[in-house]
A and B are shown apart, each in its own frame.
Chain A
Amino acid sequence: MDASRINEMIQDLCATPDGMARLRANLDAVFAEYGLSAEQQAALHSCDTLKMVAEARVHPILAFHYLFAVRPEVMQNMSLAGYPDLLGGGR
Chain B
Amino acid sequence: MGTIVSAGATSHILFNPAPAPEAARRIVAGMEESGRRMAAARPDVLLIISSDHMFNINLRVQPPFCIGVSDRFLPFGDMGIPRTPFPGHREFALSLARFSAQQGFDLALAEGLKPDHGVTLPLLFIKPWGSVPTVPLYVNINMDPVPSVARCLALAECMRRWIATERPPQERVAVLASGGLSHWLNIPGAGTVAEEFDREFIDRLARGDHARYTTMSTDDIRRSAGNGGLEIMNWMMMAAMVPGTGGEKLYYEPMPAWQTGMGGLAMRL
* A interface with B by C-beta (< 8 Å): 7-8, 11, 15, 49-50, 52-54, 59-65, 76-83, 86-91
Residue ID in chain A nearest B191 by CB atoms: A50
Instruction: Provide the residues of chain B in CB contact with A8, threshold 8 Å.
Output: 59
A89 touches B187 (CB 8 A): no
Residue ID in chain B nearest A58 by CB atoms: B186
Chief secondary structure at chain A's binding surface: helix
Q: How far is the CB of B25 from chain A (nearest CB, A)?
A: 10
Beyond A49-B186, A80-B81, 20 additional contacts (C-beta under 8 Å) are: A50-B187, A50-B188, A50-B190, A53-B186, A59-B59, A61-B53, A61-B142, A76-B16, A78-B15, A79-B16, A80-B80, A82-B14, A82-B17, A82-B18, A83-B14, A86-B14, A89-B84, A89-B124, A90-B123, A90-B125
Q: Is B227 an interface residue (CB 8 A)?
A: yes
Q: From residue 10 to 36 of chain B, which have CB atoms closer than 8 A to chain A?
A: 13-18, 24, 28
Q: From residue 158 to 208 of chain B, which have CB atoms closer than 8 A to chain A?
A: 185-188, 190
Given the known interface contacts A59-B59, A76-B16, the answer about A87 and B190 at a Cβ–Cβ threshold of 8 Å is no
Instruction: Provide the residues of chain A in CB contact with B212, threshold 8 Å.
Output: none
Q: How far is the CB of B253 from chain A (nearest CB, A)?
A: 15
Instruction: Provide the residues of chain A in CB contact with B58, threshold 8 Å.
Output: 11, 62
Q: How far is the CB of B141 from chain A (nearest CB, A)?
A: 10
A-B contacts counted at CB < 8 A amount to 84
Point out which of B54, B81, B142 has the most chain A C-beta atoms below 10 A from its C-beta. Answer: B54
* Bound-complex Cα distance A11 to B216 (A): 32
Q: How far is the CB of A74 from chain B (nearest CB, A)?
A: 11
B79 touches A7 (CB 8 A): no
* Bound-complex Cα distance A91 to B30 (A): 18
The count of chain B contact residues (Cβ–Cβ below 8 Å) is 33
* Bound-complex Cα distance A64 to B127 (A): 30
* Bound-complex Cα distance A60 to B142 (A): 9
Q: Is B128 an interface residue (CB 8 A)?
A: yes
* Bound-complex Cα distance A61 to B186 (A): 8
A79 touches B142 (CB 8 A): no
Given the known interface contacts A50-B186, A60-B187, the answer about A89 and B82 at a Cβ–Cβ threshold of 8 Å is yes
Point out which of A49, A79, A90, A91 has the most chain B C-beta atoms below 10 A from its C-beta. Answer: A90
- Among B24, B60, B227, the residue within 8 A (CB) of A60 is B227
* Bound-complex Cα distance A83 to B124 (A): 12
Instruction: Provide the residues of chain B in CB contact with A54, threshold 8 Å.
Output: 187-188
* Bound-complex Cα distance A53 to B126 (A): 36
Instruction: Provide the residues of chain B in CB contact with A59, threshold 8 Å.
Output: 54, 59, 142
